[in-house]
Structure formats: structure tokens, C-alpha cells
Amino acid sequence: MKIGYVYILECSDGTFYTGSTIDLDKRIEQHQNGFGANHTKKRLPVKLMYFERFTRIDEAFRREKQIQGWSRNKKIALIKGQYEDLSKFSECKNSSNYKDWLRLRSATEDKKDDR
């Protein structure tokens, strides 16, 4: 298997693009010349912000998919090397947060016990 890289680019509009490749320099050049993904070709120039090297391309691809699902703040923490903040940015912040659900469920069960 070939080695692989996962990378994060910052586009001219401030958005991030995450990809994977077996040749990082060539792929960045392709993005810069408008032969990369549709997202980057519409937002040139791009700047390499972060990359990881893997011994196998399939590992890089799995990591790419993981990072693509992350929030912008979590990607920024990764880029800055603020690894202690990664879990903080993993916590769900919406109204259906699991912690809220557990709290509400517990309160409901307490009311049932009071009957």
C-alpha cells in the first residue's frame, strides 16, 4: 500500500477543505491551479494549514472522513495543535443534547417515583 496524507486547506473565503492524497505536494499544486475539488477551485487561492502522514492511504481516507464531520472550531483546534480542546468541541451544543436528555429523563423518572 502507498503512504497517504490527510490535509486541511484554507480557502480565500476562509472556509476549510479537507482531503486525502498519496502525493501531498502534487495535490496542493492541483488545487492551486484550479484542478482540485469544486469547493477549492471556486475559492482560490488556497493555503495548506495542516496535514498528517499515514503509512497507508486507506488510513488517511478514514481520517479525512472523520475530520470532515468536525465543526470549524474543532478543525481550528487541530490546526493550532490545541489537542486538549478537541473533546470540548466534540460536545453536542444543540437543544437535543444527550446530556439534557438524560437530565430530563431522570427528572421524569423522579416524578413517577413520587406518585
What secondary structure does DSSP assign to 21-68, as a single string? ES-HHHHHHHHHTT-S-HHHHTS-SEEEEEEEEESSHHHHHHHHHHHH
More confident residue, 101 or 42: 42
Q: How many domains does the chain have?
A: 1
The residue ranking higher by pLDDT, 104 or 60, is 60
Q: Give the model confidence (pLDDT) of 10-61 as tens digits.
A: 999 999 999 999 999 999 999 999 998 999 999 999 999 999 999 999 999 9
Report the CATH number that the domain containing residue 53 is assigned in CATH: 3.40.1440
Domain limits for position 82: 4-114
Q: Average model confidence (pLDDT) for the chain?
A: 87
Q: What's the pLDDT score for residue 115? A: 53
For position 57, what pLDDT does the model report?
Answer: 96
Total-model pTM: 0.78
pLDDT confidence tier of residue 94, bands split at 50, 70 and 90? low
Q: Which of 55, 2, 1, 8 is nearest to 27 (CA)?
A: 8
